[in-house]
Amino acid sequence: MNIVIKVSDATKKKMIDYYQDKKRDKEIPYVVFQADDEDTVITMYTSGKVMFQGTSADVDANMWKEMDGQANEKGKATNDQKYYYCSSVGSDEVGTGDYFGPIVVTACFVSKEDIPFLQELKVGDSKKIDDARILKVAPQIAKKIPYRSVILSNKEYNQKYGMNYNMNKIKAILHNKVLYQLIKEINPEYDYIIVDEFAREARYYDYIKDSTHIQTGITFMTKAEDKNLAVGCASIISRYIFLKEFDKLSDTLHIPLVKGASSQVDKIGEEVVEKYGQEKLEEVAKLNFRNTERILKTIIF
């Protein structure tokens, strides 16, 4: 699939930022950057046009179209309300963009009666909430909202990645796992099951086809963290667990780790290798990230 969209200068800037760490090294005439994001290749042209190629190209393109304020469905507002004011199961993940630390996926059940309480807490996308507030709000949510989480350690992640799992497949397997578990164990009365869309529906089910139990009936949508409270809660609880795990890692290494995948992260990675050897990265970082190459290139053994 091949999709071309045109975005504003503001969105262009955001995209350049977002794909910074996923950029290919090769320079191409009239191309601002070309980047790989799991199943999708993104090419931004100097003209402001952006091309998305791959099986999930429309998912990525839609995300940026929405970010750019270009509505892509009629009656979207009312549709979105439908997914907000309802009883729902939703899941979301954290840590997939961070070189250090695990991946955490959580599924939550939010019943209609919980909506005012969650609105009061301003539940939404954890990416937009600072860490201090996450640490305060997540325990309050967790006390009231049923949830199930899974933590994928760096070691397990690196083993999986070596076996030809890509990030989206790993995400799909973990989402399926917590959704199935939550629904099976608490048997909630829900109107929708909502997952923040990271792959097309057919692709998602293809990724989990070898799982023992498969949760079906999912509604996929982009930016679900803001459109559905169960996904919002899942986002916050996942983030909370990630922060705790991240602190534990920093403590055991006696090195304050840095989130994300920037050049600052490379510096910390160099410190880890100098102090504990190259093998340590396997336990604390996602080896397939470009950071690994950069870190090992700088180190003189």
Q: Give residue 162's identity as a one-letter amino acid code.
A: G
Cβ of residue 76: shortest distance to Mn ion, in angstroms?
A: 19
Q: Which residue is nearest to Mn ion (CB)?
A: 196
Shortest Å, Cβ 126 to Mn ion: 8
Identity of the residue, 103 or 268, whose beta carbon is nearer to Mn ion in the bound complex? 103
State which of residues 21, 58, 60, 92 lies at the interface with Mn ion (CB under 5 A). Answer: 92
Q: CB of 168: closest distance to Mn ion in angstroms?
A: 12
Q: With beta carbons less than 8 A apart as the criterion, state whether 195 and 93 touch.
A: no
Quick check: 60 binds Mn ion (CB under 5 A)? no
Contact status: 266 vs Mn ion (CB under 5 A): no
Question: What element of type H or E holds 79?
Answer: helix 76-84
Q: Rank residues 196 and 245 by Cβ distance to Mn ion and give the closer one.
A: 196
Taking the complex as a whole, the smallest distance from the CB of residue 171 to Mn ion amounts, in Å, to 9
Candidate segments 7-15, 106-114, 189-197, 277-285, binder of Mn ion by CB under 5 A: 189-197
Check if the beta carbon of residue 46 is closer than 8 Å to that of residue 32: yes
Least separation in angstroms between CB 211 and Mn ion: 20
Q: Treating both helix axes as pointing N-terminal to C-terminal, what angle do 154-162 and 167-186 enclose, rounded to 10 degrees? A: 120
The closest alpha carbon to 208, from 186, 238, 179, 246, belongs to: 179
Among 21, 196, 197, 266, binds Mn ion (CB under 5 A): 196
Query: Is 299 within 8 Å of 291 (Cβ atoms)?
Result: no
Q: Contact at 8 Å (CB) between 249 and 284?
A: yes
And the tokens for 173? 């397997």
Binding interface with Mn ion (CB under 5 A):
92, 196
